[in-house]
Amino acid sequence: MKEIQWWCAAQGIPWTWSWQPYPGVWLAALALFTAYTVILRRSPYARERRNLVIAGYIGVFIVWLSLDWPIGPLGVGYLAFAHSLKFLLISFVATPLMWLPFSPKRSDPATWGGQGATSALLAGVFFNVVLILSHTPLVVDGLAESQLWSFVLDSLWLVAGVLFWRPIVGRNGLPQSMVKVLYIFLGTLSHTGLGMFFLLSRYPHYRVFELAPRVEHLSARVDQALAGALMLLAGTPIVFLILGIVFSQVARAEQAPGVTVR
Amino acid sequence: MTPGFSTVIRLPRAGARLTPFLFLLFLAFGACQREQPVEMKGSRLARPLAKPDVVLTDTAGKAFDFRKETEGKLTLLFFGFTNCPDICPVHLANVADVVDDLSFEQQSNTRVVFVTVDPQRDTPAHMRKWLDNFDARFIGLYGDDETVNRFQDELLLARAVTIPTEGGGYTVGHASQMIAFSPDGLARYVYPFGTRQSDWAHDLPRLFANGKLDAGGHTGNGKLGNVKVVRKEPIRIEKVKMPAPAPGSPGVMYATIINEKEDDALLAVETPVAGRVELHTVEKTPEGHSLMKQVKNIPVPARRLTSLKPGGYHVMLMERTADYAQGQTVPATFVFEKAGRIAVQADVISYGEVEHGASDGADKAHKH
């Protein structure tokens, strides 16, 4: 009999494709939705950009999708591939989408600013520290069975993603396009390295995924290689796609009369 | 101070503060991947086991003489069933991956043998198809209950037991360790569930070498009487006893631990007959009552005998997964903080025998 969990955590029991409720995930998704709506209402620009607002809500929906059944439990207790997918969805897809409705204009109160390059550097460092720490075997294996720690790790991914993408859109973000490219390139280096590491490793690195009951006969080694391939082959194009979208948004804002974009 | 000036000043300071931290993180990550300098990753058997003289039937329907057909080969033997949802497929999949990494010559001299403990459901064709998911070279065997039970008995494994499940079905409780026979025909190490691919990759080449001299210092010429001990074992475990428990009640295990080297601690005990194993001690209350209390570990001081005994430290077997009766033996692995994992066989005895010999009273200084 499967124990009901409030947040997805590794249970070590065979995987079944029967749906499981995760009430904590629903509450968190609802809280995120509410907070996002409140912030959107503070932005006069968001009201004019319905399509981008929809994209932002799709970002919130993707956060929920990646935390709930089946990606959530698969990613914490069964498949390294699902673990990578969850990370990518939250940190590389959902969070930049959530920034889209906001404007880089100084007058958008929703895009609060920090201290320019310094805060961008700290955001980049924080993002990479979270990325590396949350992928160490010590953390993945050690905390996978705890619902509370799984919640903390997932929340950290979300916060790190939001902070990482803020300098691209935020009103006091990085000033020049080339600096932004450099920022994203450097910021995603460890993600690329991690993908390479998984792809080229001979043995599985995570005990929790290596010794978990198999899902659809997928061996632990193939699973890890797929996780690496996903990080490497899917993550990088996603980054460049986001860059393209953000730059077109910046270009549009620059073309608007009487607007100074920093 | 202008914002621009602030930025100029803070950037290098923030960077300087964080660089060593990041460097340490990378080092920590690297350290997690590094192999520990341990000689063998498997659980060492207290004494080597010879291959049993057993003839079963393979998935092609031919008689399979286990001793003869695996002679001179590194043989990994596992008892399981194809409907097993977790342990069997994971164990076999991990072995299959690592066997694939061996040299061609080593692969040619390796046999992975799977003996079903569920012959009712594991038809030869079904077993073949299931094994092919891992490696088409894996050998599947079946036999009558009596032969398979004798096979397990001779390898000191707990016999597989059928456990009814809800809805009228059943599952099978079985020993989860894979037994590794070196080319000399002796098994010195077993690999419980939880053995990782990196552990297998570390040990398999060394198991090939066991015919000459293994990591435990045994010469393996196939004769138990000629086993030569080169390296002194830091910890020996003797008199491992388990009273046959009443139905539905938890089991208990006693033993004598002889520590020849340095202060150590018993951290855990693993056995396939219990879902959960706890370390306990007995304390006296001020009123003079005995109170059983769970402990995190049991200290094993250097050069002393530590007795796990009634009224003192002992091992409690909770959530029993299999029955065992007086006269049988049950495998167990003692996990020490420094000495690592040591596999033993516990003798199942009556409670009457416990009072007269399972333990030897108070802990004693050990004289050489």
- In chain B, residues 98-137 whose CB comes closer than 8 Å to chain A: 101, 133
Q: What is the mean pLDDT of residues B66-89?
A: 94
Q: Pick the more confident residue, B336 or B79.
A: B79
- Please count the residues of chain B: 368
Task: Indicate the range of A134-143, B75-84, B162-171 predicted with least confidence.
Answer: B162-171
pLDDT at position B230? 34
- Start-to-end Cα distance in chain A: 57
**Chain A residues near residue B11 by CB distance under 8 angstroms:** 117-118, 121
Q: What is the mean pLDDT of residues B170-190?
A: 92
pLDDT at position B156? 87
pLDDT at position B6? 29
pLDDT at position B315? 94
CA distance B271 to chain A (A): 18
pLDDT digits (tens, 9 = 90+) for B47-62: 889 999 999 999 999 9
- Asked whether A228 and A206 are in contact (CB, 8 A), the reply is no
Candidate from B10, B133, B198 with C-beta closest to A203 = B198
Low-confidence ranges of chain A (pLDDT < 50): 258-262
Residue B212, CA distances (Å) to A109, B52, B70, B191, B227 in order: 76, 21, 18, 21, 11
With left for phi above 0 and alpha for psi between -120 and 50, is residue B248 left, alpha or beta? left
CA distance B10 to chain A (A): 7
Q: What is the mean pLDDT of residues B13-36?
A: 43
Give the burial string for A63-79 (b: 16+ CB within 10 Å, else e): bbbbbbbbbbbbbbbbb
pLDDT at position B367? 36
Residue B190 has pLDDT above 70, yes or no: yes
- In chain A, residues 184-213 whose CB comes closer than 8 Å to chain B: 202-205, 207, 210-213
pLDDT at position A150? 95
Q: Own/partner pairs for A150-158, CB < 8 Å, 24+ apart?
A: A150/A7, A150/A8, A150/A9, A150/A76, A151/A7, A151/A24, A151/A28, A154/A7, A154/A67, A154/A86, A154/A90, A155/A28, A156/A130, A157/A86, A157/A87, A157/A90, A157/A91, A157/A130, A158/A32, A158/A63, A158/A90, A158/A91, A158/A94, A158/A95
Residue B260 has pLDDT above 90, yes or no: no
| DSSP code string of B293-350 | EEES-EEE-TTEEEEE-TTSSEEEEEEE-S---TT-EEEEEEEETTTEEEEEEEEEE-
Q: Pick the more confident residue, B17 or A192.
A: A192
Determine what percent of chain B falls in helix, strand and coil, rounding each to the nearest 5.
30, 35, 35
**Chain A residues near residue B97 by CB distance under 8 angstroms:** 219-221
**Chain A residues near residue B193 by CB distance under 8 angstroms:** 211
- Strands B340-349 vs B235-243: parallel, antiparallel or unpaired: parallel
CA distance A179 to chain B (A): 15
Q: Classify B114 as helix, strand or coil.
A: strand
**Most confident by average pLDDT, A246-260, B10-24, B188-202, B345-359:** B188-202
**Most confident by average pLDDT, A57-71, B31-45, B267-281:** A57-71
Identify the sign of the CA torsion A40, A46, A48, A50. Answer: negative
Q: What gap in Å lies between CA B208 and CA B222, rounded to an integer?
A: 14
Confidence of residue B12 (pLDDT cuts 50, 70, 90): very low
B276 touches chain A (CB under 8 A): no
Structure tokens at B198: 């990196």
Cβ contact B196–A221 (<8 Å): no
Q: What percentage of chain B exceeds 90 in pLDDT?
A: 43
Residue B225 has pLDDT above 50, yes or no: no
pLDDT at position A2? 60
Residue B163 has pLDDT above 80, yes or no: yes
Cβ contact A214–B89 (<8 Å): yes
Cβ contact B196–A125 (<8 Å): no
Q: What is the mean pLDDT of residues B192-197?
A: 93
CA distance A61 to chain B (A): 33
Residue B232 has pLDDT above 70, yes or no: no
Position A127: which residue type? F
- Asked whether B101 and A202 are in contact (CB, 8 A), the reply is yes
pLDDT at position A169? 72
pLDDT at position A175? 62
Residue B23 has pLDDT above 50, yes or no: no
pLDDT at position A119? 77
| DSSP code string of A144-191 | TT-HHHHHHHHHHHHHHHHHHHHHHHSTTS-SSHHHHHHHHHHHTHHH
Instruction: Compute how many other C-beta atoms are within 10 angstroms of the C-beta atom of residue A215.
Output: 18
**Chain B residues near residue A121 by CB distance under 8 angstroms:** 11, 14-15
pLDDT digits (tens, 9 = 90+) for B107-142: 999 999 999 999 999 999 999 999 999 999 999 999
The residue of chain A with its CA nearest to that of B18 is A125
Identify the helix (H) or strand (E) that includes residue A72. helix A71-77
Q: What is the mean pLDDT of residues B291-311?
A: 89
